Amino acid sequence: MIRRPPTLQATDKLAFLLSLVPWLIDRAQVSVADTAKHFGMTEQQIREAVMLIAVSGIPGETQQYQDGDLFDIAWDRFEDDDEIVLTHLVAIDDSPRFSGREAAALIAGLQYLSALPENADRGAIDSLMAKLARGASTRPSEMAVEAGETDAALALIREAVATGVQVEFDYVNSRGDREHRHADPLRIESVDTDWYLRAWCHLRGAVRIFRLDRVSALTLTLLPIEFSAGDVPLPDELFEGSADDLFVTVEVTLAAVSLIADYIPDDAERITVGDRVRTSVRVSHFHALKRLVAGLPGMVTVVEPPEARRTVAEWAAAGAARYGIGPG
Amino acid sequence: MSPGSAAGAPRVPVEERLFSLVLALLATDTGLTKNEILSTVQGYRQRYDHGGNNANLERQFERDKDDIRDLGVPLETVESPAESGNQNLRYRIPRGRYELPSDITFSAEETAILGLAAMVWREGSLSTESRRALVKLRALGGTSDEPVLGYAPTLRVRDSAFEPLRTALDKHHVVRFAYLKPGELESRVRTVIPLALVQHQGRWHLAAEETGTGAQRTFLLRRIVGQVAATGEIFDPRADDAPTRALRELEQVWSSHTAVVEVELESDAATRLLKRRGTVTAPSGALELHYSDLNIIADELAAFGPEVLVLSPAELRDAVVSRLALMARNHREDTRD
Report ipTM for this prediction.
0.90
Dist. CA B197–CA B210, nearest whole Å = 15
| A95-99, A191-195, B25-29, range with the lowest pLDDT | A191-195
Dist. CA A323–CA B299, nearest whole Å = 16
Q: Considering only alpha carbons, which residue of chain A is nearest residue B329? A: A313
Do strands A178-191 and A246-253 pair parallel, antiparallel, or not at all (unpaired)?
Answer: unpaired
Q: How far is A109 from chain B (nearest CA, A)?
A: 4
- Higher-pLDDT residue of B41 and A234 is B41
Task: Tell me the pLDDT band of B4, cut-offs 50, 70 and 90.
Answer: very low
Dist. CA B149–CA A159, nearest whole Å = 9
pLDDT tens, position by position, B187-223: 899 999 999 999 998 899 999 999 989 899 999 998 8
Establish if A130 touches chain B: CB-CB under 8 angstroms.
Answer: no
Binding-face residues of A in 109-128 toward B, CB within 8 A: 109-110, 112-113, 116, 118-119, 124-125, 128
- The arithmetic mean of pLDDT across residues A206-216, rounded, is 90
Q: How far is B186 from chain A (nearest CA, A)?
A: 15
How far apart, in Å, are the Cα atoms of B30 and each of A61, A65, A137, B68? 14, 19, 21, 19
Q: Considering only alpha carbons, which residue of chain A is nearest residue B105? A: A131
Dist. CA A139–CA A133, nearest whole Å = 7
pLDDT tens, position by position, B304-328: 999 999 999 999 999 999 999 999 9
CATH number listed for the domain at residues B162-243:
2.30.30
Q: Do B114 and A292 touch (CB under 8 A)?
A: no
CATH of the structural domain B257-330, one choice from 3.30.70, 2.60.40, 3.30.43, 3.30.1490: 3.30.70
Q: Do A172 and B119 touch (CB under 8 A)?
A: no
For a pLDDT cut of 70, what percent of chain B falls above it?
A: 93
- Asked if A165 and A143 sit in the same domain, the reply is no
**Which residue out of B71, B162, B175, B252 would a mutagenesis test of the A interface target, given it has the greatest number of A Cβ atoms within 10 Å?**
B71
The number of helices, as runs of H, and strands, as runs of E, in chain B is 11, 13
**Residue B52 pLDDT exceeds 60:** yes
Establish if A192 touches chain B: CB-CB under 8 angstroms.
Answer: yes
What value does the mean pLDDT of chain B take?
89
* C-beta of residue B179 within 8 angstroms of C-beta of residue B188: yes
Q: What stretches of chain A show up as alpha helix (H) in DSSP?
A: 10-25, 32-39, 43-54, 75-81, 100-112, 122-134, 152-163, 286-294, 306-321
* C-beta of residue A72 within 8 angstroms of C-beta of residue A52: no
DSSP characters over B168-200: HHHHTEEEEEEE--TT-SS-EEEEEEEEEEEEE
Do strands B287-290 and B280-281 pair parallel, antiparallel, or not at all (unpaired)?
Answer: antiparallel
pLDDT tens, position by position, A259-315: 888 888 888 889 998 888 999 999 888 888 999 999 988 889 999 889 999 999 999
- pLDDT value for B82: 62
- The arithmetic mean of pLDDT across residues A28-54, rounded, is 94
* C-beta of residue B33 within 8 angstroms of C-beta of residue B27: no
Dist. CA B162–CA B168, nearest whole Å = 10
Please tell me the total number of residues recorded for chain B in this structure: 337
Binding-face residues of A in 139-178 toward B, CB within 8 A: 139, 141-146, 149, 157-158, 161-162, 172-174, 176, 178
- pLDDT value for B10: 65
- Asked if A162 and A197 sit in the same domain, the reply is yes
Binding-face residues of B in 155-194 toward A, CB within 8 A: 155-156, 158, 166, 169-170, 194
Under CATH, what is the fold of the domain B14-98?
Arc Repressor Mutant, subunit A (1.10.10)
Dist. CA A128–CA B111, nearest whole Å = 10
- Asked if A82 and A106 sit in the same domain, the reply is no
The CATH number given to whatever domain includes residue A204 is 2.30.30
Rg (chain B; Cα; Å): 28
Q: How far is B57 from chain A (nearest CA, A)?
A: 18
- pLDDT value for A5: 47
Contacts of B126 in chain A (CB under 8 A): 105, 108
- pLDDT value for B337: 47
- pLDDT value for A256: 82
What value does the mean pLDDT of chain A take?
88
pLDDT tens, position by position, A127-152: 999 999 999 999 999 999 998 776 78
Establish if B22 touches chain A: CB-CB under 8 angstroms.
Answer: yes
The CATH number given to whatever domain includes residue A71 is 1.10.10
Domain region containing A28: 10-88
